[in-house]
Amino acid sequence: MSNTAEIFESMEYGPAPEESAFVRDWLKEKSDGFQHYINGAFTSGGDGQKTIESRNPADGEILARFSAAGEAEVDAAVSAAKSAFPKWAKLSGHERAKYLYALARLVQKNARFLSVLETLDNGKPIRETRDIDIPLVARHFYHHAGWAQLQETEFSDYEPLGPVGQIIPWNFPLLMLAWKIAPAIALGNTVVLKPAEYTSLTALYFAELCKEAKIPSGVVNIVTGAGETGELIVKHPDIAKIAFTGSTEVGRIIRRQTAGSGKKLSLELGGKSPFIIFEDADLDGAVEGLVDAIWFNQGEVCCAGSRLLVEESVADKVTEKIKRRLSSFRIGDPLDKAVDMGAIVDPVQRDRIQSLVAQGEKEGGDVWRPDIEIPQVGCFYPPTLISNVSPSNVAVREEIFGPVLTSMTFRTLKEAVDLANNTRYGLAATIWSENINRALEAASAVKAGVVWINTTNGFDAACGFGGYRESGFGREGGREGVFEYLKLQKEWGGEEKPAPAPEISGEPDTGDPDGGLDQTPKQFIGGKQKRPDWGRTMPVAAHNGSYAGRVSYGNRKDIRDAVEAAFKAQGWGATTGHARAQILYFIAENFSKRADEFAKRLQQITGVSKSKARKEVQASISRLFAYGAWADKYDGLAHSPPQRNVVLAMNEPVGVIGVVCPDASPLLSFVSMWAPAVAMGNRVVVVPSERYPLLATDFYQILETSDVPGGVVNIVTGEHAALVKTLAEHDQVEAIWHHGSAEECQFVEKASADNLKRVWTNNGRSRDWSDARTGEGREFLRHACEVKNIWLPYGD
């Protein structure tokens, strides 16, 4: 044994094991296996059910066994949640808040037990579960208890959804549970939660805390199992929402499985997050931040900073510092408080890491690992650096979900941003620079839902977390996360039943009702009138079957041209809200000058009375003024988490939005659907009412004279079925707003799964477009924005 003098000379750490006997005693009490927690009690799994083993990744020891829930158990859990929902939802926010406060206090009282149990089950170091995971779990229940208390005043127009299905991953088992359960039950929903197959133990202990807190039966239900159990929850008809955290591949499957079901959906998926170091950065601080970004939790973090982008002038210095730092890394027993990195969760995951690293090396990457001791027993993997990689290398492209960092260099800020955005993901990013102007410029340009400046891995219940692109949609935490568990009261009416267009009578051979020259409206693409790709037109009937005119018959090439024009108009998102407001006001003013003309056209085509036609036109003008007013007023928020940070929740445009309009109130719905998107800086490709498209083609004449930049608003007429298919499948379309039949909505949701674009449909229900509460306002603006949370530390 080394003496004190030798220890001070070598500065070697001795072992500092955390006591675990009290947790192991609890596990021994459960030696017969764990049961599902349904309707306030632990129930037997039933005969013949598959048994799942929970193993300690550090040594392979079997910790516990539990059964995989089948159809009967999932039905029982959902039934319990459904039965408990009415009473729980009717409780005052204050009463629900008291239950969440009780859970928060119980988590704190049992913090050491939960920390040890999480480390045994997951393999992450005890320092991380003790100092990060469990305190954040308590924080989420405290924070959302506050939202429960304030619900009646802050969300008076909203109501809870119902029974919610929640599926969580294995990398942060208890923290992900808190992210899901706390907001759901705070706002009056009930839950059926499935923890990960590998890591269910803290969820089952949490069920015991629910009993101790006297959470009413059926409010929280926890069923264990593998992917098959999760699929049963996703497909259950009585589930109102699915909240999923996991891989992008499974997220796509869930998007397809829930298509057309009416279930609300939030997905927090994979990432390949950039870590950008500029030459003026505090390099020592940046390297320590990098260690936290990629080697925290063994790199098993969806937002891990796995792609290092370092300015060329300091790249060698940074690489040297990384290698020196890793050469003193300590890997070993996760219960040892002196280790830097614990065990990979399961051999299956370790094998995947090894395979991807080997492929990255085969594709030209230089693989380096520190010469440090790695335990021979257990599921461990060394910290790894892969340099000299191209952007196409598999190690750069694919989420490895392990302690593996790739390194590339850049010369300019633009190149750094281009490399950062060269990914199908968009979950998080880290930027390190002493120049705050440069850091903020980069933060605004990077496509990511969370950006950390001179810090990394900042998390708090008050600050939303979630991604762009194939990292999913929806947010967890913050005010934006609250809306994921609420719906607007009476947002939708009855079933949307568009009447079939009548047979057209009396069409003249010339295609012009007045005879002479053909005046068929063209498509409106890139700010110009453009003939349809294949030159075809289609007749349009008035309400009584009389011939009203012809419009361009668009096809997939027209949609692609419109999307390209919208994509090129990226400058619109960078304009100020004031500038966008001025253009919307100008559109409204020019529209008002032709109000009588549009009212006459509306009356002629739809058959409404003169007074109703005028009322719809005036409502459309008013709506344009409303979104002109909102353009510079729908601001973000500044959060103050417990850490020394200011977090800016910035509302950003989504990008290119495909807008498919209904036949109902054809002028008002047309304006109401594209105006909020444009007000927030998006560009749109609008497919107007199939039955009454002439109102939209008349309207683009107003757009032409109202200083609208080319490509901001594009209008393509034709049959919805073909046009919507191309829009929904297009990878450059980042969101779809679709109002139509239930069958059309199902198709759009399913087709959108390839690039996981955000989809907002009416689920086949009607909307009262004349009602300002449901036809305009914040609900539309929320769908028109992505929320980017930028973390800014302060102090020395």
User: Catalytic positions, please?
Assistant: 268, 302
C-alpha–C-alpha distance, residues 370 and 476, integer Å? 37
DSSP type of residue 511: S
Cα–Cα dist 120/123, whole Å: 6
Cβ-count burial of 604 within 10 angstroms (0-12 exposed, 13-18 middle, 19+ buried)? middle
- Residue partners of 457: CB distance under 8 A and separation at least 6: 292, 293, 296, 301, 303
- Region at 172 (left for phi over 0; alpha for psi -120 to 50; beta for the rest): beta
Query: Residue 771 and residue 82: Cα distance in Å, rounded?
Result: 31
| Nearest residue to 314 (alpha-carbon basis) of 273, 293, 289, 283 | 283
User: In which residue are the tokens 């199992």 written?
Assistant: 225
Question: What is the DSSP secondary-structure string of 525-549?
Answer: ETTEEE--TT--EEEEE-TTSBEEE
CA 636/CA 626 separation, integer angstroms: 19
Residue 508: both structure tokens together? 């003249």
Helix, strand, coil shares, percent, the chain, to 5: 45, 20, 40
Measure the CA–CA gap between 281 and 76, rounded to whole angstroms.
56
3 state SS of 64: strand
In a 3-state reduction of DSSP, which class is residue 618? helix
The token duo for 168 is 């969580």
Distance between CA atoms of residues 124 and 231, nearest Å = 28
Supply the Cα-derived Rg of the chain in whole angstroms: 28
Longest CA pairwise span in the chain (Å):
106
Cβ-Cβ contacts under 8 Å for 135 (sequence gap 6 or more): 111
Beta bridge partners of 165: 192, 242
* Cα-based torsion angle of the residue sequence 218, 222, 225, 230 in order, rounded to the nearest 10 degrees: 70
Phi and psi at 161, nearest 5°, equal -85, -40
Give 449's DSSP letter. S
DSSP per-residue letters across 50-78:
-EEEEE-TTT--EEEEEEPP-HHHHHHHH
Three-state secondary structure readout of 177-211: HHHHHHHHHHCCCEEEEECCCCCCHHHHHHHHHHH
Assign residue 487 a region (left: φ > 0; alpha: ψ between -120 and 50; beta: otherwise).
Answer: beta
Q: Burial-class residue 279 by CB neighbours within 10 Å (0-12, 13-18, 19+).
A: middle
